[in-house]
Structure 1
Amino acid sequence: MKTSDYLKKYGIRLKKHLGQVFLSDDRIAKRIVKEAGLKPDDVVVEIGAGAGTLTEELAKTGARVIAYEIDESLAPILQERLSKYPNVELRFEDFLKAKDVPDGAICVSNIPYSVTGLIIEKIIEWRFKRAILMVQKEVGERILSKPGRKSYGYLSVMVQTFYEVRKLFDVPRSYFVPNPEVDSVVIEMKRKDVDLDFERFKKFVSMIFSKKRKTLKNNLKPFLSIFEGMDLSRRAEQLTIEEIMELYNVWRRTLECSKE
């Protein structure tokens, strides 16, 4: 049965305030799962199960699947599609408020576009070892962007500091119900061996990108004395991850010393 048929069967009306658009082509779901290369002993987290098109393909791998869905009205569809898979656990709750995501899990999701940035921050914070994500094409470009490009910014730095990122394939808007106004892209993120205080690093990156067209000298004005001898004439969008890390470590060490 097609996704659109499930929606009609249960009289489900999509909620605009949740930005609901559901993947309707199982060929795309199969391709995403193939790229994930899942094994039966993997733990997979899906964020935004929707009508279950991707969830069902994840379930077929035999991996343990934890599927989050904030909209409980979709329960009848998901339960019908997934009842034969004992390896699937449905959690009708907001992933952004989750408390017990298993360590070392893999995230495979068509994430809700309206809260993409917040969800990606959570993926970083929860230390997912890998993530295969379908995101809005424009957001994907920002995540993959390099220094000097207009699309390079806070999200680029946050993701690329913690993950190796690559583009897998594009997904046209026609593969969704209803058709959204934008195309999508599937990306892969592989965790780097990075040990950083997430909240502290997030605060620093937010600070240097707070006024994107301003120089570091302007955005770091309260801390200029600690960067003496360092070049602060450029904008944050011109810096490599390594250069940002150098600045961050100076700032971090100063904060730690001030607390001693």
Structure 2
Amino acid sequence: MAKRTHKYSNKKLSRGEPPNFSGQHLMHNKKLLHEIVDRANLSKKDTVLELGAGNGALTTVLNERAGKVLAVEYDSKFVEILKRKAGQYQNTKIIQQDIMKIHLPREKFIVVSNIPYSITTPIMKMLLNNPSNGLQRGVIVMEKGAARRFTSKFVKNPYVLVWRMWFDLLYVKEISREYFSPPPRVDSAILVIKRKVKPIVSYKYYATFHGLAEYALKKPNTPIDNALKGIFTSPQMKKLKRSLSIKNETPIGCLTESQWGIIFDTMTKYVQQHLWPRLKKKKQQ
């Protein structure tokens, strides 16, 4: 019989593991746990979503601060531990489910989680790809390299640029491997997410902007003239660069969020709609 593999990394899975299982690294440092929850600035009015609750070390801090806690965990052994620990808290709901198959809360919510590292990007896409969902802010412990990539001034990935039109992503600090059991092979970090008070692009233009981002960032080091060729005419491009206050050789990946807002506004106002890049439909796996 063929071995099942990890849905995203293609690594072999052991019996009983879900397709996105990565091996959880559980936090045990109480000071760190409280710092994470403090950064979430919770109140009794808040609904908190915890993805990958593990043995409940973070859950037991969350359910004392938040109005409602939705703790998601797949491993049945951890679920039993969570039920014992959270039994005295009526505000906590344990959800035994594959993280990537859950339905996000319909109401406004805050994410506070120590997520499985091998599905960091899929989890972030689930949370941030739809700007009209209820996510207000988040504090997430993740692999350091991913946190750096999501917050880098030079943007390589279209989806990261798309997130930044509606959310601020802040790299907070590195976390020692000694704070986890078992210690992860890679360094960890805390990333904070905050919904922008005023989005750079209206929510209704999500797909349109995503199409522009995919088109322009095929090669992030490409000069802006070449990256946006096919959308803007030469005269339009000259005016656009003056508005952006940039030179011809500026790589497209170096542009700021506000500059992308100017590009998008210029495209929607002055470029015929049939020339707007279309968001490519992803094939179902």
Is TM (by shorter chain) over 0.5?
Answer: yes
Q: Match of 1:122, SS?
A: helix
Stretches of structure 1 lacking an aligned partner (at least 5 in a row):
1-12
Match of 2:260 among 239, 244, 247: 244
Match of 1:131 among 135, 138, 141: 138
Q: CA RMSD in A?
A: 2.9
Distance 1:132 1:29 in 2: 11
Greater CA deviation, 34-43 or 87-96?
87-96
Distance 2:98 2:43 in 1: 26
Match of 1:208 among 216, 237, 241: 216
Q: CA deviation at 1:15?
A: 8.3
Task: Letter of the 1:234 partner, please give it.
Answer: T
Which residue is 1:223 aligned to?
231
Which residue is 2:244 aligned to?
none
Distance 2:87 2:255 in 1: 50
Which residue is 1:141 aligned to?
148
Q: CA deviation at 1:45?
A: 0.9
Match of 2:39 among 30, 35, 56: 35
Distance 1:252 1:51 in 2: 49
Distance 1:249 1:47 in 2: 36
Report the CA distance shift for 1:75/1:202 in structure 2 as closer, same or farther (over 3 A): same
Distance 2:99 2:269 in 1: 33
Q: CA deviation at 1:96?
A: 3.3
Matched, 1:121 2:125: yes
Task: Letter of the 2:27 partner, please give it.
Answer: L
Q: Match of 2:231, SS?
A: helix
Distance 1:73 1:88 in 2: 18
Greater CA deviation, 73-82 or 29-38?
73-82
| 2:106–2:134 Cα contact (<8 Å) kept | no
Which residue is 1:64 aligned to?
68
TM-score scaled by length of structure 2: 0.73
| 2:111–2:137 Cα contact (<8 Å) kept | yes
Distance 1:130 1:256 in 2: 36
Q: CA deviation at 1:39?
A: 1.0
| 2:45–2:67 Cα contact (<8 Å) kept | yes
Which residue is 1:109 aligned to?
113
Report the CA distance shift for 1:205/1:41 in structure 2 as closer, same or farther (over 3 A): same
Match of 1:26 among 30, 45, 51: 30
Report the CA distance shift for 1:244/1:136 in structure 2 as closer, same or farther (over 3 A): same
Give a deviation string over 1:51-85, Cα, whole Å, max 9, x none: 22111211122420012224345322222222221
Distance 1:58 1:118 in 2: 24
**Sequence identity (%):** 23
Structure with more helix by fraction: 1
| 1:145–1:156 Cα contact (<8 Å) kept | no
Count of aligned pairs between the two proteins: 243
Which residue is 1:165 aligned to?
169
Which residue is 1:86 aligned to?
90
TM-score scaled by length of structure 1: 0.79
Distance 1:256 1:44 in 2: 43
Task: Letter of the 2:69 partner, please give it.
Answer: V
